[in-house]
Structure 1
Amino acid sequence: MPRGKFTNHKGRNRRFTNPEELEEERKKEEQKKRWRQQQGMSSSEESEDEAAGDKKISEGSESGSESEESSEDEDAKGKGVSKLIEIENPNRVQKKTKKLATLNSTDLDAKPTLSRREREEIEKQKAQAHYQKLHAEGKTDQARADLARLAIIKQQREDAKKRREAEQKEKDTAAKEKTAQTRKALGKK
């Protein structure tokens, strides 16, 4: 045994029940059950509980798959207040097996359902492509404004080009006149 203020159960002697004692307790319970049935004192709830207990004992000796069924019976019976209030978990998904015969080929060929976000994204892309097509044809307000602006810019560039050409001609003529005057002044022809 550990020393000190705090002790736990791990260092103490352990007591195990004998299989004979368990068998005797089971027999006593069966005798009590029979006596109650003979006297008519058992209520329907007690008989159901005892019947469920008998099923558990008999199924415990059988295969493992049947023991799983008994655990489902225990869950169905409920513990505490759960037997009074039936609550179903909406988040629990129960797997349902489908047979090959029940599946239709039309179910397989049907389009997969899209989520709201996916549908909105596809609609957005379609609208954008439609707008680009109209814009290229010049049918949108923005396209008309762009074309008008482009026409104004082209006109301004043409005017600027003409002005530069005119200035260049003036410079050339001025340069020719100056060279002619300097030659004349020097006496060269």
Structure 2
Amino acid sequence: MPRKFVNHKGRHRKFTNPEELEQDRKKEEEKRRLRAQRGVDEVTSSEEEDDAAGDKGSGSESEESSSEEEGKAKGVSNLIEIENPNRVQKKTKKVTNTTKTEDLADKPQLSRREREEIEKQRARAHYQKLHAEGKTEEARSDLARLAIIKQQREDAQRRREEEKKVKEDAVKQKTAQTQKALGKK
């Protein structure tokens, strides 16, 4: 008997009740209203954790206990002051307090690769400047090589001029001999 294809996608679907959604929405509105009454603009991370635990819990019981305990510090956090370097604290800035100097101080830092690239460019420019002035080993060896080549070229030029004079003299002597042989002089 042939087997039928079974689609596994819809097997374990669970839909949230509209009543539960409405209850959650009402809880959130109540929390916002309480915060607005107290004048608290920002939620700290411990309160967020309490809220998350309250949402997962039984509901009204955890909400009542969390609303009562929000003013109190939990555990030993009020006894021992610990500075966690990994904890990021949100800092709110008012628009009236910000100044241009803070904006300049907050400009983005360069990454390690960008810093290294800028450093390489500076070093390359410095080396080129020293090379142009003849202060590097490579520049000194290049200048010495150029001096040797200039000397060789000057010697070759002198040799060619001497050979040219010798040839002209030989041509003059030959023409003089031919003229003398012909008796024209």
Aligned to 1:99: 94
Unmatched runs of 5 consecutive residues or more in structure 2: 8-18, 33-47, 58-89
Aligned to 2:23: 56
**What is the one-letter code of the residue matched to 2:184?**
K
| CA distance in 1: counterparts of 2:21 and 2:166, whole angstroms | 122
**What is the one-letter code of the residue matched to 2:23?**
K
| CA distance in 2: counterparts of 1:108 and 1:57, whole angstroms | 41
Aligned to 1:155: 151
Aligned to 2:182: 186
The DSSP-based 3-state class of the residue aligned with 2:130 is helix
| CA distance in 2: counterparts of 1:76 and 1:7, whole angstroms | 39
Structure 1 position 99, deviation (Å): 2.5
Aligned to 1:145: 141
Percent identity over paired residues: 63
1:136/1:76 CA distance change after superposition, 3 Å? farther
Alignment of 1:1-189 (within 5 A): 56=23, 59=26, 66=29, 77-78=55-56, 98-110=93-105, 111-189=107-185
| CA distance in 2: counterparts of 1:129 and 1:56, whole angstroms | 69
Based on CA coordinates, which of the two structures has the bigger radius of gyration? 1
> Greater share of helix residues, 1 or 2?
1
Structure 1 position 115, deviation (Å): 1.2
**What is the one-letter code of the residue matched to 1:101?**
T
**What is the one-letter code of the residue matched to 1:126?**
R
1:167/1:78 CA distance change after superposition, 3 Å? farther
Q: Work out the number of aligned pairs and report it.
A: 123
| CA distance in 1: counterparts of 2:120 and 2:176, whole angstroms | 72
**What is the one-letter code of the residue matched to 1:77?**
D
Q: Which of structures 1 and 2 has the larger relative contact order (alpha carbons within 8 angstroms, sep 6+)?
A: 2
**What is the one-letter code of the residue matched to 1:99?**
K
Per-residue CA deviations over 1:31-86 (Å, capped at 9, x if unaligned) read xxxxxxxxxxxxxxxxxxxxxx69817829xxxx949x7xx96786249xxxxxxx
RMSD across aligned positions (CA): 3.9
1:75/1:177 CA distance change after superposition, 3 Å? farther
Structure 1 position 122, deviation (Å): 0.9
Structure 1 position 112, deviation (Å): 3.4
| CA distance in 2: counterparts of 1:58 and 1:127, whole angstroms | 62
TM (normalized to structure 1)?
A: 0.52
